[in-house]
Amino acid sequence: MHLTRTARIVLGCLTAAGLALIYLPLLLVLLNSVNADPSFAWPPRALTGEWWSRALHSAGARDALWTSLRAGLGATAVALVLGSLAAFAVHRHRFFGRQTVSFLIVLPIALPGIVTGIALNAAFRTVLAPLGIGFGLFTVVVGHATFCVVIVFNNVAARLRRIAPSLAEASADLGARPWQTLRYVTFPALRPALFAGALLAFALSFDEVVVTTFTAGAGTKTLPIWIYENLARPHQAPVVDVLAALLIALSVIPVYAAQRLSSDTAGGRL
Amino acid sequence: MSATRHEPRARARGRLAALLAPPLLWLVLAYLGSLAVLLLSAFWTTDPFTSDVVHTWTTDNFRDILTTPVYRTVALRTLGIAVAVTLLDALLALPMAFFMARVAAGRLRRALLVAVLTPLWAGYLVKAYAWRVMLGEHGIVNAVLAPLGLHGPGYGTAAVVLVLAYLWLPYMILPVHAALERLPAHQLEASADLGAGTLRTLRSVVAPAVRPALLAGSVFTFSLSLGDYLTVQIVGGRTQLLGNVIASQVTLDLPLAAALSAVPVALVVCYLAAVRRAGALDSL
């Protein structure tokens, strides 16, 4: 297929325009975090560092960040174990209902978050409440892990498909026991996929609001919940903007890490 | 495959059970179990005075939903917005993914991919919030349009479509890009050698490869839009979607909320089943 020069230029311009559209709102958030006008009137008349210092001293925001980190780590740990097990099962074995298993794993992110949220809410209230377990960090981790499994599963399964079966066979022919093959052959080949899966799962959990709203209860506030609650308060707008700016700035780190550590072009699969 | 070939059947089966049991137990107990509880509670009712759930079997909730015109309007509006968002994203993603995968080369290609991927990490709320600021009365959209004598869309249905399309765009670009990148160059060359023009090659070689990827991307854009209720609250003005109606009923009337949430679930399951036939779930 031969694309004319004009076609290439038009495609390039469309891509540049698309990227500009993607980044413009994010750049504005960064700029507004130093906009002296607390209602962010455009264009900004003066710049200030006050919002940043106010945000750094906000106890609510710090607590929320800590809660988010713990919830993300918990959910990622559960998802890593369950997602890898499922990927091995589906990849290494042919069995009745194999398609159904893949379908079941995808379902939690395919169904609307609000449905997952109120379903878990109703179930926790009927099952966990009589056991004396209230809403809190534990229920948030359970909720998040449920939809993070698919991320790890997708990454590990994609990697397993690409590892040549002859590698494991060679290892067995050379006298390695199955767990030795797993330890010295399969695991090193899987490591980038595990890492990318964990990173994406953590990000998904760190960013989640809807399921969290219905599984957190009153006392547990993750960072997105805190931001959402403060969106409606005009005097908190600058602090919210600083947090948003911080999250945008921090988002460069995982992408960079995924690019460095994973040979997958996209640094992971969703 | 390799693991099963050298092993006795019983051992392979035991290993399969050990691998499959933890994830399946988790998903069936925590997830399907919860969905079952939700579905069951859709057949219960609520005491109008105390708002307590009364465990008597009734199909009134579903009858209410089918016969109340407001719910039908809201459901159709939600469906319309989800379809609009999906089409808009497909339209935006196709040229971008094509340029990234088949025109750009080397470092530029990799840089573009990172550029598309990075905003995914910036967070849902952050982005919806960014648009709230931009679309506000004194925001940049109005400031830019004012000299032209125009006024931005403000908060409302148009803003919801715009912001949702913005939020889910990377989910559409990534699978389409992956499909285009996987397309072997020699197939395109063969098509040209056989005398096909650019348009013919696009239609007969590129389109069949991209279709499953577009469908895979649309699973995200469609179902994420169907269930969204925060974007609507942030930039939707007075627009109501299914998600809002469900969320506002959860504490007042859980059985009604449960019955209402059957609507997006039914829509998404139908969509997934249709898309699975086209093989799109493999390219997720």
User: Which member of A123, A206, A247 has the closest CB to residue B34?
Assistant: A123
Q: What is the ipTM of this complex?
A: 0.78
- Please write the tens of the pLDDT for every residue from A133-148: 888 899 999 999 998 9
Q: Do A86 and B116 touch (CB under 8 A)?
A: no
pLDDT at B168: 92
* CB interface of A with B, residues 246-265, below 8 Å: 247-248, 250-252, 254-255, 259, 265
Q: Is residue A152 part of a domain?
A: yes
pLDDT at B6: 53
Chain A residues with CB-CB distance to B92 below 8 A: 18
Q: Give B251→chain A minimum CA distance, Å.
A: 10
* CB interface of A with B, residues 41-70, below 8 Å: 41-43
Query: Which secondary structure element, helix H or strand E, spans residue B45, and what is its range?
Result: strand B45-46
CB distance A30 to A248 below 8 Å: yes
Q: Do A19 and B188 touch (CB under 8 A)?
A: no
Q: Give B69→chain A minimum CA distance, Å.
A: 22
CB distance A32 to B133 below 8 Å: yes
pLDDT at A164: 82
Test the B interface: residue of A6, A22, A248 with most B CBs within 10 Å: A22
Q: What is the total count of domains within chain A?
A: 1
Q: Which domain holds residue A80?
A: 67-267
Spatial CA neighbour of A145 closest among A99, A86, A192: A86
Q: Is A145 on the interface with B (CB under 8 A)?
A: yes
Chain B residues with CB-CB distance to A113 below 8 A: 224, 227-228
Q: Is residue A24 part of a domain?
A: no
Token output for A17? 């325009």
φ, ψ at B54 (rounded to 5°): -105, 125
Token output for A18? 């698309």
The DSSP line for A29-70 is HHHHTTBSSTT--SS---B-SHHHHHHHT-HHHHHHHHHHHH
φ, ψ at B154 (rounded to 5°): 65, -160
Test the B interface: residue of A111, A127, A163 with most B CBs within 10 Å: A111
The CATH number for A129's domain is 1.10.3720.10
> What value, to the nearest 5°, has the Cα angle with vertex A194 and ends A190 and A199?
155
Q: Is A232 on the interface with B (CB under 8 A)?
A: no
Q: Which residues of chain A have pLDDT under 70?
A: 1-2, 259-270
Could you tell me which residues come within 8 angstroms of residue B283 by beta carbon, excluding any fewer than 6 positions away?
B175, B178, B179, B212, B213, B216
Spatial CA neighbour of B169 closest among B92, B283, B79: B92
Q: Is residue A28 part of a domain?
A: no
pLDDT at B2: 45
Q: Is residue A160 part of a domain?
A: yes
- Which residue(s) pair with A35 in the sheet? A47
Q: Torsion angle, CA of B19/B22/B25/B31, rounded to 10 degrees? A: -110
Tell me how far apart the alpha carbons of residues B1 and A163 are, in angstroms, rounded to a whole number: 12
Test the A interface: residue of B4, B6, B20, B198 with most A CBs within 10 Å: B20
Tell me how far apart the alpha carbons of residues B259 and B60 are, in angstroms, rounded to a whole number: 10
Q: Do A251 and B122 touch (CB under 8 A)?
A: yes
Q: Is B258 on the interface with A (CB under 8 A)?
A: yes
Query: Pairing state of beta strands B45-46 and B53-54?
Result: antiparallel
Q: Is residue A12 part of a domain?
A: no
Tell me how far apart the alpha carbons of residues A143 and A140 are, in angstroms, rounded to a whole number: 5
Chain B residues with CB-CB distance to A21 below 8 A: 166
Q: Is residue A9 part of a domain?
A: no
Token output for A78? 């559960």
Q: Is residue A253 part of a domain?
A: yes
Q: Is A21 on the interface with B (CB under 8 A)?
A: yes
Q: Give B191→chain A minimum CA distance, Å.
A: 7
Tens digits of pLDDT across chain B (284 residues) = 444 455 677 888 888 888 888 989 988 888 899 999 888 888 888 777 776 777 778 888 888 888 889 999 999 999 999 999 999 999 999 999 999 988 888 888 888 888 887 887 778 888 898 898 888 888 888 888 888 878 878 889 999 999 999 999 988 998 899 888 888 888 888 888 888 877 888 888 888 888 888 998 998 899 889 888 899 999 988 888 998 899 888 888 888 899 999 888 888 888 888 887 776 566 55
Q: Do B24 and A39 touch (CB under 8 A)?
A: no
Token output for B266? 């039914």
Q: Torsion angle, CA of B40/B41/B42/B48, rounded to 10 degrees? A: 160
CA distances from B37 to A95, A156, A178, B137 (A): 29, 31, 41, 44
Q: Is residue A47 part of a domain?
A: no
How many contacts (CB atoms, under 8 Å) link A and B?
A: 291
Q: Is A83 on the interface with B (CB under 8 A)?
A: yes
* CB interface of B with A, residues 218-237, below 8 Å: 219-220, 223-224, 226-230, 234
pLDDT at A266: 44
> What value, to the nearest 5°, has the Cα angle with vertex B25 and ends B20 and B28?
115
How buried is A155 (Cβ within 10 angstroms: 0-12 exposed, 13-18 middle, 19+ buried)? buried
* CB interface of B with A, residues 123-182, below 8 Å: 123-127, 129-134, 136, 138-140, 143, 166, 169, 171, 174, 177-178, 181
Q: Is A6 on the interface with B (CB under 8 A)?
A: no
Block residue for tokens 């931005």? B152
Spatial CA neighbour of A87 closest among A3, A196, A12, A9: A196
Spatial CA neighbour of B191 closest among A6, A7, A2: A2
